[in-house]
């Protein structure tokens, strides 16, 4: 594994998932080979579409609602926007580092979870663990955003929720009665956006929005996009090579975008394919530092590498790290790769 530029070689890779995993339980449909002509992406995702356009989500992952004795982090939930039913989960180390007896100011990491726009919450065990690890190992104040899901709320609702989270953080800095964890321990000049999968997409567009939100003196110092989710009408080589991927086959990716994009829009809409032309490109040079992480067995890896080239060409400062091996979300089940990603993120933020 090594840091790489936007031109990265890839090896042929066939993914094999274990039949079960205590870290990332998968529905049965995800664990068997597919006959693509008979493949049902709704069954694969354990969801069903209701007549009113909403989804019934049939897979319920373990959730975390309270701390266990000896946990290295504390957490609490805070309402973000009651009308949108969005909320935040805040994490802080139980032992705040100190310099000469004075509590250190910690970077603030605003986190957007994975789930292909339609699944998961900030309380799911795997999302909770990721944020707890960030808070403990960087160390940092981590803020996990429980944004609205599609198709009940289509894009750009998730970007609006991200903007709400940024404004909320700024308010805590300026409000005398603001959230004490942030006021006492947070460094508002070192705020980072971190997203995984579709959350990486949200982090990118939230970074573009940040310039127009008048957040000063709060500063977004960088953006981490871990296996960000992008698409497009024209298939890439990696999408075709991994069309029958056991986790994210093409029909599943297509369904996720169909449910998330504004109605009537195709996958060359800028929300899905930011490499297309548009006014958003004029804002990319303002993003500052970006870290993009990817794995060679991800169907979206070609998109991610094209994204890196676009960022660089538009003036962003980019560190790109791609592992030739590994599938989408491999760092959720492979402790070695999880440690490598954490090391990268820690070095980028510190």
C-alpha distances out from residue 258 to 214, 231, 233, 262, 272, Å: 33, 11, 12, 8, 10
pTM above 0.75, yes or no: yes
Closest CA to 183 of 81, 75, 131, 108: 108
Q: Tokens representing 26?
A: 């998968």
Rounded Cα distance between 82 and 85, Å, is 5
Rounded Cα distance between 315 and 114, Å, is 27
Evaluate the CA torsion angle 176, 177, 178, 184 in order and state its sign: positive
Q: Where are the extended beta strands (E) located within 184-250?
A: 186-196, 220-226
- Note down pLDDT in tens along the chain; length 350 residues: 444 433 333 322 222 333 333 333 443 333 334 455 689 999 999 999 999 999 999 999 999 999 888 999 999 999 999 999 999 999 999 999 887 778 889 999 999 999 999 999 999 999 999 999 999 999 999 999 999 999 999 999 999 999 999 999 999 999 999 999 999 999 999 999 999 999 999 999 999 999 889 999 999 999 999 999 999 999 999 999 999 999 999 999 999 999 999 999 999 999 999 999 889 999 999 998 999 999 999 999 999 999 999 999 999 999 999 999 999 999 999 999 999 999 999 999 98
Q: Give kind and range of the element (H or E) at residue 91.
A: strand 86-93
Peptide bond into 151 cis (omega under 30): yes
Bridge partners, residue 196, by sequence? 226
């Amino acid at each position: 594994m090594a840091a790489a530029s936007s031109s990265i070689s890839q090896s042929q890779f066939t993914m094999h998932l274990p039949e079960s995993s205590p870290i990332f339980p998968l529905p049965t449909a995800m664990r068997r080979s597919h006959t693509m002509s008979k493949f049902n992406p709704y069954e694969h995702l354990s969801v069903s579409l209701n007549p009113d356009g909403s989804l019934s989500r049939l897979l319920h992952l373990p959730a975390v609602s309270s701390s266990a004795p000896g946990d290295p982090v504390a957490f609490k939930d805070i309402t973000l926007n009651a009308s949108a039913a969005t909320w935040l989960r805040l994490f802080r180390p139980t032992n705040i580092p100190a310099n000469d007896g004075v509590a250190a100011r910690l970077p603030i990491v605003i986190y957007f979870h994975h789930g292909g726009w339609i699944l998961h919450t900030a309380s799911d065990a795997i999302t909770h663990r990721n944020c707890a690890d960030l808070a403990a190992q960087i160390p940092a104040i981590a803020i996990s955003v429980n944004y609205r899901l599609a198709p009940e709320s289509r894009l750009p609702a998730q970007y609006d929720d991200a903007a709400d989270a940024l404004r909320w953080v700024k308010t805590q800095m300026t409000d005398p009665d603001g959230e004490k964890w942030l006021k006492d321990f947070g460094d508002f000049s070192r705020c980072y956006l971190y997203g995984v999968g579709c959350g990486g997409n949200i982090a990118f567009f939230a970074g573009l929005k940040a310039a127009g939100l008048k957040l000063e003196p709060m500063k977004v110092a960088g953006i981490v996009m871990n296996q960000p989710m992008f698409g497009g009408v024209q298939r890439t080589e990696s999408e075709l090579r991994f069309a029958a991927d056991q986790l994210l086959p093409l029909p599943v990716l297509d369904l996720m975008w169909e449910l998330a994009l504004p109605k009537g829009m195709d996958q060359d809409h800028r929300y899905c394919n930011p490499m297309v032309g548009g006014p958003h490109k004029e804002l990319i040079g303002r993003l500052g530092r970006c870290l993009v992480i990817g794995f060679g067995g991800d169907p979206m890896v070609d998109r991610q590498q094209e994204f890196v080239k676009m960022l660089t060409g538009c003036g962003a400062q980019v560190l790109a790290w791609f592992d030739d091996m590994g599938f989408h979300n491999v760092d959720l089940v492979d402790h070695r790769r999880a440690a490598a990603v954490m090391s990268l993120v820690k070095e980028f933020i510190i």
